[in-house]
Structure 1
């Protein structure tokens, strides 16, 4: 089974991997997964994360840089440009708004939906996942273990972690819902990830999910996923309450 970040984009015949990755980066910026001033991970790390070549990464970054959403300069860090004026200019010339409508719903509705969708995904993934898939998840965990103080790389890896599991559910509708729902409250999640110990806590929950998947145990996989979602819900709600005061 092909389980890269591009597994469900085979129908985009006229788009190269560079174009698809550029679209993904733009989507992450518009959704708030990548924010103004964020330093992008290295080309090597991005290539590993998305399962593409460094040349593809370099081309995608150059393309998004041409949109004015990434600052690329030799000898310095590659950073996101997503200030209000940058986003307005992009939308003016590219006629693209936020790609997700899910942020217009309340947190309870979103997480009730995530529970239904990702519990089903966890069960199906436990039945369908193969050794190659387990290996990919374990490599993601190895990388995440070094990201306890790196919220930007961790959130990119976290998104890939949930997406990879959803691909092994062998249900494109569930996978699509999973990706859509993940976009909820990403700006708030960034604030949560800045709290001491938050990334490590999330990583530990990921470990429990992978252990259950590795045993091919649907019940345990569902329990581990639900425990993780409950934690994400509680910390997101707490941070939303803090932001509102």
Structure 2
């Protein structure tokens, strides 16, 4: 199963008639509204976003224009793109734009969400272990190489982490599993951002990613399932710890 730049958003496009630009804009908006991206954060460059999401720089520029129309980012030629997520901007956005469906997952308690995520991603890992090809493994290894340089950059790491899980779900070959896994990923992103700021948190997640990729590379369904479940247990534990701080 070969994944190319032209097919990276193929599953979403089969569910709704949206362009890649629209889909990417919604993903960025979701990350702002959930608190993964925060006021005054610097977004990765167009080139970096293009690599992270596997789309063209033209698609990135178009998506950023859509987000900028809601005044949620500041884009200026020759300057870094920054997040505008102060109270005024967020209130204006909520007044003018309906909440995205995926944000509804935050209405459920942590037990329900992580049980669902474990069941779905365990199945995804097993299917991906059977279906992933050399191109997919190469993409995952490139992500790992990039993540190894992100230990001091939680924003970039979380964006890469989201795409890491998404790519694995794409190789499961089931668009509904992909959709559900992405919705569940959005749970408590503001809390996950806080977790990623703690010493050693990114390094720990990176090492867990390495074990997942190793299992997928071997085509070992059982090992892939166990690796993803260990990772999700770690995410669950650190999320709960931060929620009780």
TM-score above 0.5? yes
Task: Tell me the residue number matched to 2:30.
Answer: 27
Residue 40 of structure 1 deviates from its aligned partner by: 0.2
Are 2:102 and 2:186, in contact at CA under 8 Å, matched by a contact in 1?
Answer: no
Determine which of 196, 199, 203 is the counterpart of 2:199: 196
Partner Cα separation in structure 2 for residue 124 and residue 94 of structure 1: 36
Partner Cα separation in structure 2 for residue 78 and residue 131 of structure 1: 34
Task: Tell me the residue number matched to 2:147.
Answer: 144
Matches within 5 A, 1:95-114: 95-96=98-99, 99-114=102-117
Change (3 A) 1:56 1:197: same
Residue 178 of structure 1 deviates from its aligned partner by: 0.7
- 1:175-232 Cα distance to aligned partner (Å, 9 max, x none): 1111111111100100100011110110000000000000000010011111101111
Task: Tell me the residue number matched to 1:125.
Answer: 128
Task: Tell me the residue number matched to 2:178.
Answer: 175
Normalising by structure 2, we get a TM-score of 0.93
Deviates more, 1:26-35 or 1:218-227: 26-35
Determine which of 60, 63, 85 is the counterpart of 1:60: 63
Match status 1:209 vs 2:212:
yes
Deviates more, 1:164-173 or 1:2-11: 2-11
Partner Cα separation in structure 1 for residue 141 and residue 15 of structure 2: 29
- Extract structure 1 runs of 4+ deviating beyond 6 A: none
Indicate the SS of the match to 2:145.
Answer: helix
Normalising by structure 1, we get a TM-score of 0.93
- 1:58-84 Cα distance to aligned partner (Å, 9 max, x none): 221122112100011234321111122
- 1:27-78 Cα distance to aligned partner (Å, 9 max, x none): 2222222222211001110001111121221221122112100011234321
> Where in structure 2 are there 5+ consecutive unaligned residues?
none
